[in-house]
Amino acid sequence: MGKNKGKQRKQIILPPELPPEITEDEIEVSDEDLQFVDENKDYAGFVSRLDTHSITKQVTRVEGFSEDALEALYEKRRRKALKQNENEKTVVQVDPVDALPVKTLDGEIYYRTFSQATEVAENEEGNEDKSMVKLTKAERRAKLKKSKKEAKKLGKELSKTEEVQPTQQEAAVAEVKEDLTAEEAFESKRRKLAELGMALLADPEANIKSLKEMLQFSKDGNHSIVKLGLLSMLAVFKDIIPGYRIRLPTEKELEMKVSKEVKKMRYYESTLLSAYKGYLQKLLALEKQPIFHHVVVRCICTLLDAVPHFNFRESLLAAVIRNIGSSDDVVRRLCCAAIKSLFTNEGKHGGEATVEAVRLIADHVKAHDCQLHPDSVEVLMSLSFDEDLGKPEVAEGNNKIKNKKNKKRKNIEESNQLQGNDRKKSKQEKIAKMKEEVAADYKAVAHSPNVEERKMMQSETLSAVFETYFRILRHTTQSSVASSEANGNIPPGASGAHPLLAPCLTGLGKFSHLIDLDYIGDLMNYLKRLAARGSNSDSSAQKVQTLTVSERLRCCIVAFRVMRSNLDALNIDLQEFFVQLYNIVLEYRPGRDQGEVLAEALKIMLCDDRQHDMQKAAAFVKRLATFSLCIGSAESMAALVTLRHLLQKNVKCRNLLENDAGGGSVSGSIAKYQPYASDPNLSGALASVLWELNLLSKHYHPAISTLALSISTMNTTTQNQVYLSISPQQAFNNLSLEQESFDQRGSTQKLNKKRKRGNAPLASAGIEPTLFDENEVSKKLSRHFMLLRDIKENERLRGELDQIMSSLQLYEEYKKQSNSSKHKTKKSKKLLAVN
């Protein structure tokens, strides 16, 4: 029975047999069927598109399986189908970012879901289903080709989608993440720097290792972190650097046994010194990069100003002097301020840094052939010398020091020979040596050198300063037009081809009393040659480059200052400088040259000098009177003050104020005035008359006209006139262009009233101009111009109104004419109609 049941099951499980095959010839098609198909071709078109080849295929058997194993095969397929259904039922919730939720009527919120199907099971089933169909070799090949092509297309589409997605969304997200990480890293590094700095300032000895960690921040890739690191270390070093110079222990000292405190102090000092050295090396390396140039220069200048006594001062000085003539205004000002502070605060370094700085400046000027910014030499004006020390003789001082040392050595040798092996005396010698070493160390630490050392340092500083000044003078006298054009390295901000001449002359005038008498003769020769280099000076070999009027006047001023500061030891003829001043006055131009320099030259050469020769004084009086006619009010006032001073000192020159026929009453040895003479002694000015004062008395400025009237009446009045002692410099400053504001109309009315009253003696107190309130004057002028503008505006509006009125009248006339013409045409039409 069991076997029969198994056979029955097998018979039931087998698929039904196919109908018998019928050939096309046996099929009969009726006429009705053909008619129906012809009438309904639109609906039966799909029949023509059927794949008859695949339809006619017959599945005779399952490939690879016998009839007995078919039951197990079908059961296996059933299980896989059930598993596939279970997988399809697995629901996955959609991300809330990708889809909006759904709210039901009950108020509950549901998010969308989707079923996750396994593609692997589908592929396996498809393969098994297809394995049921028996395919030929050609069909398999074609199928493989199609599958490969489809796989390539899918791969390209996936790659395109993968390329598009990161460029739009993921790129933005990546940038935001990078920015956030960079900001977080920056903030963390800032905090770390602050923590290290605070720890070092709180306890430097315990946290001295943190200096090396802070130094690593200067190697960071972020420029802001590097700048913060440099500035943080600057603040730390300014606070923790000791007030003495660190001397590392020698090898012998390291071999000696010392206490823990000494070891700790040695470790602290060595670590500090090595970190400071690394910091300076990093600064010098970053100085070449434009991004860090300002920060590095600021750090170097601050260190030189704060700790000039500490180690590696030479590196700081070299860097500052190298940038002292920079074209960058910020860098140059920082370096000049640091050098000036070094000169004025010698208590920090005992004067040694001053000597080194002045020597480096001299070498810097020599290396650049005197073509630097004027500030690089002007800093020497901040030097101060102790005049009580005098001019020390260095050789004698050195000999005295050597003699003292030799005496000490001889005494020690004699004592050693006499004492022999006496232990007590040997102990005393050791104690004495220890005391000498302690005294030497204390002397090295203390910044208070003795008198002899101060004399030596002052003499070295003076020699370097005057070496720089004489080099500039020699370069200026030897330079020519061709050489200056060939060099072409005049720094920006410098005036003229000799940028260092003006600060050089100013420095010589300040330190003229400290110049050695052996060099004064050479200095005066240089000054004479420079003062003679005017616009008309030509040498036989080549045309020498001319100097400006202000520079030539400065040469004359320096010559007179040097002469007066060394008056007891000199007997120099300054006649050539008077000749140069006599000629320079005519070359002066108010807008081009400096009036302060001219006023200073007039004061020091004509007013402060002793009694002049009569011919020379008369020549300068006449030249200054002519000069006052063609220049500004401030220069005219300085010239007239000098003229009045010369007339007061030289009574015989007052004959120039007389208006006799043929000139003054005293003409001297020269009977005729020579206005174009280059020498004042050969001008014959005593044969002339000061007719210029008559024109100057009508000057637009009341102070100049008042002073000219007072000078012209100097010889006729019998009363003793009292004049205010005012110098040409004060007169120039009082009437400078910045302070010149007055009402010309009111001043001329006052002068006319005074002239009507009579020629009374005028006090020189009226020299200073009457000042008015500039705000009131500006208000009155603004009202006046506003009124003029309103008048012009009214005239314009009236003209426009007249034009509009005329156009309206023309329009009305045109209307009347048009109306009359229309009326006439109507009448003519009526007449024609009647006719």
What pLDDT shows up at residue 774? 66
- Percentage of residues in the chain with pLDDT exceeding 70? 66
Residue with the bigger pLDDT between 260 and 825: it is: 260
The contacts of residue 155 (CB under 8 Å, 6+ apart) are: none
Give the tens place of pLDDT for each residue, 627-649.
Answer: 988 888 888 899 999 999 888 88
pLDDT at 532 over 50: yes
| Mean pLDDT score, 362-387 | 89
Tokens coding 239: 């606070």
**Residue 361 near residue 370 (C-beta atoms within 8 A):** no
pLDDT at 401 over 50: no
With b meaning 16 or more CB within 10 Å and e meaning fewer, what string describes 121-134? eeeeeeeeeeeeee
Total count of residues recorded for the chain:
835
User: What CA–CA distance (Å, rounded) separates 299 from 295?
Assistant: 6
- Least confident among 174-183, 231-240, 682-691: 174-183
Confidence band (pLDDT; 50, 70, 90) for 720? very low
| Mean pLDDT score, 220-241 | 90
What pLDDT shows up at residue 763? 38
Confidence band (pLDDT; 50, 70, 90) for 77? confident
Alpha helices in 368-393 (DSSP H): 375-378
Q: Is 748 exposed, middle or buried (0-12, 13-18, 19+ CB in 10 A)?
A: middle
Which run of H or E residues covers position 562? helix 549-565
Confidence band (pLDDT; 50, 70, 90) for 357? very high
Of 633, 626, 655, 619, the C-alpha closest to 707 is 633
Of 499, 513, 630, 638, the C-alpha closest to 569 is 513
Beta strands in 122-246 (DSSP E): none
Tokens coding 141: 């090949």
pLDDT at 171 over 90: no
What pLDDT shows up at residue 66? 64
What pLDDT shows up at residue 830? 67
Q: Is 523 exposed, middle or buried (0-12, 13-18, 19+ CB in 10 A)?
A: buried
Residue with the bigger pLDDT between 441 and 262: it is: 262
Residue 95: CB atoms within 10 A of its CB come to 9
Which run of H or E residues covers position 356? helix 352-367
What pLDDT shows up at residue 758? 43
Alpha helices in 691-743 (DSSP H): 692-696, 702-712, 728-734
- Least confident among 33-37, 149-153, 464-468: 149-153
| Mean pLDDT score, 718-732 | 65
What pLDDT shows up at residue 173? 62
What pLDDT shows up at residue 105? 73
Give the tens place of pLDDT for each residue, 290-320.
Answer: 899 999 999 999 999 999 989 899 999 999 9
Tokens coding 5: 């049941």
User: Rounded to whole angstroms, what are the CA distances from 599 to 554, 645, 728?
Assistant: 11, 13, 5
Q: What is the mean pLDDT of the chain?
A: 75
What pLDDT shows up at residue 760? 40
The contacts of residue 84 (CB under 8 Å, 6+ apart) are: 117, 118, 121, 122, 125
End-to-end CA distance of the chain: 142
With b meaning 16 or more CB within 10 Å and e meaning fewer, what string describes 338-368? bbbbbbeebebbbbbbbbbbbbbbbebbeee
Query: Hey, where are the domains in the chain?
Result: 67-131, 194-344, 396-452, 621-767, 788-835
Confidence band (pLDDT; 50, 70, 90) for 123? very low
Confidence band (pLDDT; 50, 70, 90) for 189? confident
What pLDDT shows up at residue 25? 66
What pLDDT shows up at residue 662? 41
What pLDDT shows up at residue 365? 92
pLDDT at 218 over 90: no
pLDDT at 773 over 50: yes
